[in-house]
Structure 1
Amino acid sequence: MVQIGYTMMTEQAGPRELVDHVVGAERAGFDFSVTSDHYFPWLDSQGHAPYAWSVLGAAAQATSRIPLMTYVTCPTVRYHPSVVAQKAATMQLLSEGRFRLGLGSGENLNEHVVGVGWPAAHVRLEMLEEAVEIIRALFRGGYVSHHGTHFDVENAKLWDLPEEPPPIGVAVSGERSCEIAGRLGDLVIATEPKRELLDAFDQHGGTGKPRVGQLPVCYDTDREAAVARAHDQFRWSVGNWRVNSELPGPAGFAGATAYVRPEDIQEAVPCGADVETFVEAVRPYVDAGFTEVALVQIGGDHQQPFLDWAEKTLLPALRELR
């Protein structure tokens, strides 16, 4: 049976609201939660971007059961990998073992703010691989020094280290990232239900490891309102990730999506209150072999109605998927 998760979407709600939302998700019976880690929203209409790690710390204290996870953190430009290791170890202690560290090669949208430029895609993957190796070394305990192609670490040590370090997930989109995930990751992360990604992950050592997907949805008893909201806040999601990773800010995404129509969104995002529409949107992930699927309810002010409906209607229907 596939596990169904809830997404704390930092781009569409403030920090206190995000914590309230994940408390509600735990109460509703979601199996796990994930958190985006952004410095900017994709579009101005989303309107938020609080610091994800502060939100996670508060969420760890406000909840008691639901697992927490970054989806995903970029450990290469805005954050140094040694600092990511410290944050993740602390989160594992605060959550009493409920944290997983999801990592990816990042987007210019969030990483450009430190002013060091945005590397080419192949360089970003090299940086991600080296970063994961540094984080794993620090998780093993003791002092770590590293002088690599992209990072230097001088005599670092995690003084508050959990007995079981957080599992590391790696986001994938192609063969090279699948190789990194299979070899260095404890789980794989993807935003598209592509079986070929999971096959490549398995070929590089991923067999038997969890595989986590994510799907935007827009629940509303008024379907037209749901479509309008999804188009206003999430039309960026229909773009190609090779483009999305390069654009530097919300204005770029507004320009790139100027010709995306509401009907285009209807094809990509389940909208309204028909439970079968939502189930059929999740099914491709299950058929592809994903073991977990995190849902993103679009609209920061529309979480509680979704959580109520999910508890009573959607989650029972999704639990029938095999």
Structure 2
Amino acid sequence: MPRIGLHCSHEQIDPRQLLSDVQHAERAGFDMAMCSDHFAPWSKRQGHSGYTWSWLGAALATTSLQLGCVSAPGQRYHPAVHAQRIATLGQMFPGRFWVALGSGENANEHITGDRWPRKEERIARLEECVSVIRRMLEGEEVSHDGLVRVDRARIWDLPDQVPPLIGPAVSVESAARVAGWADGIATLNQPVDKLRDLLAAYRDAGGRGPASLQVHLSWAETEDEAERIAHDQWRTNVFAEPVSWDTATPAEFDIVGEHVSSSVVREHVRVSADLGQHRDWLREYADLGFDDIYLHFVGQTQERFIDTFAEKVLPELD
């Protein structure tokens, strides 16, 4: 069976509480953790968005877990600065940090005041950033003129072990594309057939390294409460591109999410009060070949979820 980790959602929980939650998850028996890297939440109801990189340093220093995040260089983050912070965490915590590099969403990147590029331009910009970051992590002094510009940038404190640069992918097409540069792939829960095709596309294109899955789920003592939590917290996260890419603010996400039903949310979040059902879903994902599965309970209070799943779900997956 794969390793099971906790996903830490900065958009939903303040950083002090989230640090306590990840420490709690380690004590309870979770194998690892990952987190988001956003400037704003997806909804005013979520209401948080701490700075990921400060939090990661604290989480790595106060647990022994492997941690990673999904992040977008190129607009909000200059790739040379991104390379430096990746290198620093890698140097301080050898073998315990990874980063997935994506093309970003307008909700986080518009804050610079720069134009939000078309998708094809964002992909090209990401690939330039990946090249810059990888070269710098290998010790090169890098200059680059393209969609991003870099002038004689060098990292002076290199990690002994370069942190893996993971390719996030939601579609079969993006999975095949990131295979050209990624040290592994990370994706979200989707229909099983689509996930099977996505993994096959990555491997067939030469993709190497581990495959990770982030699973959005909602559990509570009753089915109604599990559904209420999912609908309250995650109904603004159900939209396909380009809405998910191009919408700019939490207020706008709240408007487009006003008429999203609970049945639609259930297409994106694994909702059940039955722990056996959650175990079955996770076994199904494991059978597809995922090496790591990160559980994202979409509620804002994590303690009961962590304890219950650690006691009654995780042991049954060994």
TM-score normalised over the length of structure 1? 0.92
Quote the sequence identity (%): 38
1:33 shift after superposition: 0.7
- The 5 A counterparts of 1:51-70 are 51-64=51-64, 66-70=65-69
Distance 1:235 1:195, change over 3 A: same
- CA offset at residue 164 of structure 1? 0.6
Contact 2:91 2:160 in 1 (8 A): no
Distance 1:29 1:256, change over 3 A: same
Shift of 1:262: 2.0
Does the 8 A contact of 1:100 with 1:167 survive in 2?
yes
Tell me how far apart the structure 1 counterparts of residues 170 and 263 of structure 2 sit (CA, whole Å). 26
The corresponding residue for 1:120 is: 118
- Alignment match, 2:174: 177
- 1:186 Cα shift? 0.4
Match of 2:273 in 1: 273
Separation in 2, partners of 1:7, 1:175:
23
Secondary structure at 2:179 match in 1: helix
Residue in 2 that maps onto 1:288: 288
The size of the alignment, in residue pairs, is 314
Which residue identity lines up with residue 224 of structure 2 in the other structure?
E
Task: Identify unmatched segments of 5+ residues in structure 1.
Answer: none
Displacement of 1:142 in angstroms is: 3.5
Q: SS where residue 206 of structure 1 aligns?
A: coil
1:33-182 equivalent positions in 2, closer than 5 A: 33-64=33-64, 66-70=65-69, 72-147=70-145, 149-174=146-171, 176-182=173-179
TM-score (norm 2): 0.93
Q: Name the structure 2 match of 1:232.
A: 232
- Following superposition, the deviation at residue 25 of structure 1 comes to 1.2
After TM superposition, give the deviation of residue 174 of structure 1 in Å: 3.4
Q: CA RMSD in A?
A: 1.6
Of 189-198 and 136-145, the range deviating more from structure 2: 189-198
Whole-angstrom distance in 2 between the partners of 1:5 and 1:172: 19
Partner deviation per Cα, 1:59-99 (whole Å, 9 max, x = no partner) = 011112x11001x1001110011111111111112323200
Letter in 2 for 1:199: A
Aligned-pair distance for 1:284? Answer: 4.2
Report if the CA contact (8 A) 1:10-1:35 is conserved. Answer: yes
- Give, in angstroms, the shift of residue 52 of structure 1: 0.5
SS at match of 2:185: strand
Alignment gaps of 5+ in structure 2: none
Tell whether the 8 Å contact from 1:28 to 1:310 is kept in structure 2 after alignment.
no
